[in-house]
Amino acid sequence: MIKKILVLFLAVFSVTVYAQNVTITGTVTDVNQEPLTGVNVVVKGSTTGAITDIDGNFSVSGKKGSTLVFSYIGMLTQEVVYKGTPMRIILKDDSKALEEVVVIGYQTVKKSDLTGAVAVVDTKEMKKSAAGTLVSQMQGLATGVNVRSSGRAGEDASIEIRGVGSLSNNSPLWVIDGMITEPGVDFNPADAESIQILKDASAAAIYGSRAANGVIIVTTKKGSKGPMKVNISLKETLEWSPKYDLMNAAEYIKYNDIAYNEAIKNGIATVTSTQKHSEYDTNWQDEVLKTALVQDYNVSLSGGGDSGNYFVSAGYYNNSGVSYGNNFERYSFRVNTQGKKGWFSFGENLAYSLTNTDPNQTNTYNDFLRMMPTIPVYDENNPGGYGYGDASKYNTFGVNPIAREDLEYRKMRQNRINGSLWLEFKPFDFLSYKFNSGIDLYFYENSWFRGEGNWTQNQEHRDPEGQKARDNTYNMLVEHTLNFNKDFGKHHIDAVVGTTYQHHEWEGLWASRLNFPLMGNGEYLHVLNAGQSNQQNSNSISENAMISYLGRANYVYDDKYYLTATFRRDGTSRLAKENRWGNFPSVSAAWRISKEGFFDVPWINDLKIRGNWGRLGNSSIGDWDYIGTINQSIVTVFGGAIVPGATQVKLVNTGLVWETKETVNVGFDASFLDQRLTVSAEYYNSKTSDVLAETPIAISTGNQGGSPWKNAASLRNQGFEITLGWKDQISDFKYNALLNLTTMNNEVLDLGRGDSERNFIDSGQARTEPGRSLAEFYLKRTDGLFRTQADIDNYVTSNGTPIIIDGKRPQLGDVRYLDLNDDGEITDDDRNFCGSPWAKMQLSFVFNAEWKNFDFSMMWNGQFGNKIYNVSRWQGRQFADNSNYIRFEKGEEPYQINPNSNTPRIIYGDMRNSYDSDRFLENGSYFRMKNISIGYNFKQDWLKNLGVEKLRLFATGSNLLTFTGYSGLDPDFKGVNSVWNSGTDGFAYPNTRSVMFGLDLTF
């Protein structure tokens, strides 16, 4: 299909060589006499045109007296009449265009005029990523931003800006082309033109209560003046997953028997003999993991004239998934247009996407460990025909992932239409009024079916069951803004005031039935109507609205002194009437020292310092969490019939108010050595108060459905962010490098539990307590093994009481846990804090180079100083229960074989050597070559005759090289529960390794 389009366009363009009068030749350079490549040369009033080659030369057919139009991005367009001699054209910088313009919400400002912390993500760098979503492509490209991605096809990465400031929601606010929305997995990242991240309160305050977690503003591509440009981009990626080093059947049997014999020796009641192992030797990783093919195809058409422009794109993305039963595909389509007549202009951005996801029904990376190699994939004696645990041969409750993916069917499909429409009236050049409206509609379908058949030992019987869900989301936005912008001599003032109204509505429908008939071919009819019993359905609605008033004024004096004040007032339907409205002000100032007369440092080209304060809000709670309700879908049975009931199930706190976050930010921007070195640095300190948290209440209230929200906690986040940029050119070798450095420090100030003994929150291996970071590791401590009888004899409390582990005294080779509370028993009370899951420093490094027609780039990122709890290692070293084991390296064999090793005595049916403890806590630091890419741009003169403007071939390798001491599959993982267990690697899907080949063609 795409080939056909390509051929068609090539054919059309080759026709442009027609009857010529004379050949006009010439050279285009910039003011420094450097040749300019790719300058658009058009004979005015015709469709004839050309593009300058690498030496700035062009040739085009025309007549003497023809006017030629020269245009180039970042340069002022020039019109020159051909007088018969070869032309020498010098294009001048368009100073406006040269200045990078940054969108800061309802306004744009020159990047050099910024007073707040705004990061700009280079979308060109993102294109080099093999990742499939906007968020995952942003990893490492901005300071203060933490992106964690996963190897699951169809799952988006998580993103946090400047740490965790809330306990209810830590996702930033996304504004795409003026519409408040989320990109998710459906957004085609190829459509993004620019991305800016508003990190501090002054930058984000214009978004008020929605902005506490930062704001990400995405602008999609637009057409530019000139003939139609066609861009075709094709990427093919091969992805594969890292694997555990697990035992084969013979090794597994050896160690499993040792563990069983140890149990028999110790009189573990349920064990009387070793397992009756089978002859099978299944490599579950080989059965489930495969090399995935990822296809990413994009075509865009763009162009425009004086009265308008257009950009149309279509994309197809397909990830066949590295794990059996997991795949994802996306079709996307976008139309962006703008028009202008006199003082009136309009624009629209409309995107449609369709995604199909087949998720894994089981965590296959957990199954690899829990399924022993002695279990066959298929076993006709079991219901459904798959192998799984058996009490006498291979006693495990692990899931056969092949069976589960085959027997359990789930497909998710989402249609999404998203876009905005704006009208602008600009009666004066200093004043404009803009009306902006947006929609974001999701139509989500989820189909699930399970036939008869089992995937694990001891599954209770379940009749064939089918479920369907349909969720529709309708988001709407209406905004009116008035913009003012005027210079008065050296004074510059611009301002915006406006109102916005946002409305969100969601409705979910769900239905299910049981007892679906089996057809002759062994397949079931899945349609719900085929289900013969137990019709069930549910329906619920969520709805909320927000009204806001906003305003911002910027004052600049002589590009030296900057002052900005912002104010936003938000009202939300999610809080009770009396607490509904919140005010979110901010002020900021900057001083460009380098412009002062007294500043005379020749090697410093620019130096600006800035500082600000602001307040933001958050009310990310349910729509009606402030008022108690009666559940009327309660049922009970009398006389064999179902009768309805009604009762209050969940309690609420009625007086909920806005969560507020106050931030102070100071920073500077500087450039040195003729702009070759640029430095930007920030320090911030933010405090969130009245943090909404689901604080536990007395169980005996009878509350169900989760603890009610309460304005309970307060948190502090602070950190430094530094960006260093360097660019230079040595003859025709051009290169630049960028270093991003982020530190983050998070502290819980208060959990709002007063002096209760429970002034902490436990979550898995972590505990959150005032005075510490959120969810620091809280584990039993160990001190090696008992290697001599004396070690055991000396294992007593301070008053000499023998210490008991799991009700018993330890034996040689057992793990020595520390009895921290000195009570003679190892229990959960012997845990203490032993490390933070939060990196002390995040670092990323981007390097780009161009030499002749070759380009090279690489991106490294890493984090340092964090701990990871390695659950897969715990599982792979777990002999108390059956699972496969992580292969022992030499010297690491268990105590029974190697009394000098650090691996304890292995024993089945006895947990004492398998407690969660610091033994499985590892250093999570890593530094990874995220991408390495090499490209070749075909020579202009080769392409010219084909009518091709640009053709680039490239190859990119992702995640191919990682330096880390972490023994799990991937130190860069996305936690299951991002805040509370962020450092626990609980069989997270590792990022895939990949090699991508691509082609980028523009004509």
Partner 1 sequence: MKKIYCGLMLAATLTLGTGCSAGLLDIENPNEVTNETYWNKPEDATAGVNACYSFLYKEGTWMRWLSFRYDLTSDEGWSSSPWIELGDWTRFLYNNYNFYEGNTVHWEHFYVGIFRCNQVLSKVPGIDMDETTKNRVLAQASFLRALWYFQVNLLWEKGTMPLEPMDASYVPQDASEQEIWDQIEKDLIFAYTYLPETWDAANLGRATKGAAKALLGKAYMQQHKYDLAKEQLSWLIEREGSLYDLIANRQDNFTDLDENNKEGIFEIQFDDQNKGGTGNDASMAFGFQRTQFYAPSGIGWGDGKARRWLVDEFLKEKREDGTNDLRLYHSILYRGFSADFPDQSKKYYKFDNADWNEGWGMDAEDCYIRKYNTAYYRDTEDYFARNNYRIMRYADILMNYAECLVETGTQPKDAAVYVDKVRNRAGLVDLVDSQWKDCLNSKEAFMKRLQTERTLELCFEGWRWADLKRWGLLDSVQGIDELKARDKDFNNFVIGKHKRLPIPRDEVSNSTVGGEVHLTQNPMY
Chain residues 949-988 in contact with partner 1, contact rule CB under 8 A? none
Residues 881-940 interacting with partner 1 (rule: CB under 8 A): 911
Nearer to partner 1, 470 or 952 (CB): 470
The reply to whether 851 sits near partner 1 by the rule CB under 8 A is no
Main-chain dihedrals φ then ψ at residue 380, nearest 5 degrees: -70, -10
The minimum distance between CB 601 and partner 1, in angstroms, equals 47
Residue 927's identity, in one-letter code, is F
Main-chain dihedrals φ then ψ at residue 113, nearest 5 degrees: -95, 5
Which residue's entry shows tokens 């392409």?
943
Q: Could you give the CA distance from residue 526 to residue 466 in angstroms, rounded to a whole number?
A: 7
Q: Could you give the CA distance from residue 403 to residue 515 in angstroms, rounded to a whole number?
A: 20
Closest CA to 932 of 990, 846, 991: 846
Nearer to partner 1, 26 or 708 (CB): 708
Nearer to partner 1, 773 or 914 (CB): 914
Which residue's entry shows tokens 């099978």?
280
Of 34, 193, 487, 828, which one interacts with partner 1 (CB under 8 A)? 828
Of 76, 90, 482, 589, which one interacts with partner 1 (CB under 8 A)? 482
What b/e sequence results for 392-404 when a residue is b if at least 16 CB atoms lie within 10 Å of its CB, and e otherwise? Answer: eebbbebbbbbbb
The minimum distance between CB 583 and partner 1, in angstroms, equals 15
The minimum distance between CB 143 and partner 1, in angstroms, equals 37
Of 705, 732, 799, 900, which one interacts with partner 1 (CB under 8 A)? 705
The minimum distance between CB 759 and partner 1, in angstroms, equals 9
Three-class SS of 908-940: CCCHHHCCCEHHHEEECCEEEEEEEEEEEECCH
Q: Answer for the pair 661, 582: CB distance below 8 angstroms, yes or no.
A: no
Residues 105-164 interacting with partner 1 (rule: CB under 8 A): none
The reply to whether 20 sits near partner 1 by the rule CB under 8 A is no
Q: Could you give the CA distance from residue 621 to residue 209 in angstroms, rounded to a whole number?
A: 13
The minimum distance between CB 463 and partner 1, in angstroms, equals 8
Residues 508-527 interacting with partner 1 (rule: CB under 8 A): 514
Q: How many CB atoms lie within 10 A of CB 304?
A: 20
Which residue's entry shows tokens 């911030």?
684
Tokens describing residue 881: 């229960």
Contact region with partner 1 (CB under 8 A), list: 77-85, 374-382, 437-445, 540-548: 540-548
The minimum distance between CB 338 and partner 1, in angstroms, equals 20
The minimum distance between CB 868 and partner 1, in angstroms, equals 25
Q: Where are the beta strands (DSSP E) in 215-326?
A: 215-220, 226-240, 292-305, 308-319
Nearer to partner 1, 49 or 752 (CB): 752
User: What CA dihedral angle connects 359, 362, 364 and 365, to 10 degrees?
Assistant: 110
The minimum distance between CB 117 and partner 1, in angstroms, equals 30
Residues 602-661 interacting with partner 1 (rule: CB under 8 A): 623-624, 627-649, 651-653
The reply to whether 532 sits near partner 1 by the rule CB under 8 A is no
The minimum distance between CB 243 and partner 1, in angstroms, equals 29
The minimum distance between CB 462 and partner 1, in angstroms, equals 7
Residues 414-473 interacting with partner 1 (rule: CB under 8 A): 425, 427-428, 431, 433, 435, 458, 460-463
Tokens describing residue 892: 């690491």
Of 15, 541, 730, 790, which one interacts with partner 1 (CB under 8 A)? 541
Strands 733-743 and 745-750, by their bridges, are unpaired
Tokens describing residue 669: 């921007």
Residues 279-338 interacting with partner 1 (rule: CB under 8 A): none
Nearer to partner 1, 728 or 829 (CB): 829
Strands 57-62 and 604-618, by their bridges, are unpaired
Nearer to partner 1, 485 or 499 (CB): 499
Residues 782-821 interacting with partner 1 (rule: CB under 8 A): 807
Q: Answer for the pair 318, 331: CB distance below 8 angstroms, yes or no.
A: no
Of 270, 731, 799, 900, which one interacts with partner 1 (CB under 8 A)? 270
User: Residue 53 contacts by C-beta under 8 Å, 6 or more apart in sequence?
Assistant: 37, 939, 940, 941, 944
Closest CA to 716 of 741, 689, 693, 694: 689
Closest CA to 351 of 476, 229, 472, 438: 438
The reply to whether 700 sits near partner 1 by the rule CB under 8 A is yes
Q: Answer for the pair 954, 932: CB distance below 8 angstroms, yes or no.
A: no
Q: What is the DSSP letter of 232?
A: E
Nearer to partner 1, 484 or 720 (CB): 484
DSSP per residue, 138-167: TTTSSTTEEEE--SSTT-PPEEEESS---S
Which residue's entry shows tokens 């139009």?
69
Nearer to partner 1, 704 or 902 (CB): 704
Phi-psi group of 365: left, alpha or beta (phi > 0 → left; psi -120 to 50 → alpha; rest → beta)? alpha
The minimum distance between CB 911 and partner 1, in angstroms, equals 7
Phi-psi group of 275: left, alpha or beta (phi > 0 → left; psi -120 to 50 → alpha; rest → beta)? beta
Which residue's entry shows tokens 């360097």?
726
The minimum distance between CB 813 and partner 1, in angstroms, equals 21
Nearer to partner 1, 534 or 729 (CB): 534
Q: Could you give the CA distance from residue 322 to residue 240 in angstroms, rounded to a whole number?
A: 6
Tokens describing residue 308: 């308008």
The minimum distance between CB 858 and partner 1, in angstroms, equals 50
Residues 546-575 interacting with partner 1 (rule: CB under 8 A): 546-547, 549, 571-573
Nearer to partner 1, 653 or 923 (CB): 653
Nearer to partner 1, 448 or 847 (CB): 448
The minimum distance between CB 547 and partner 1, in angstroms, equals 5
The minimum distance between CB 173 and partner 1, in angstroms, equals 19
Nearer to partner 1, 508 or 947 (CB): 508
Of 687, 710, 767, 831, which one interacts with partner 1 (CB under 8 A)? 710
Nearer to partner 1, 10 or 651 (CB): 651
The reply to whether 273 sits near partner 1 by the rule CB under 8 A is no
Q: Answer for the pair 472, 506: CB distance below 8 angstroms, yes or no.
A: yes
Residues 743-782 interacting with partner 1 (rule: CB under 8 A): 754-758
User: What CA dihedral angle connects 385, 387, 388 and 391, to 10 degrees?
Assistant: 100
Of 580, 661, 867, 928, which one interacts with partner 1 (CB under 8 A)? 580
Q: Where are the alpha helices (DSSP H) in 15-150?
A: 95-98, 123-126, 134-137
The minimum distance between CB 533 and partner 1, in angstroms, equals 8
Per-residue string for binding with partner 1, 159-188, x by CB under 8 A?
Answer: ------------------------------
Q: Give how many residues touch partner 1 by CB under 8 A.
A: 86
Of 501, 668, 683, 936, which one interacts with partner 1 (CB under 8 A)? 501
Tokens describing residue 899: 């009394």
The minimum distance between CB 568 and partner 1, in angstroms, equals 14
Phi-psi group of 374: left, alpha or beta (phi > 0 → left; psi -120 to 50 → alpha; rest → beta)? alpha
Residues 382-421 interacting with partner 1 (rule: CB under 8 A): 391-392
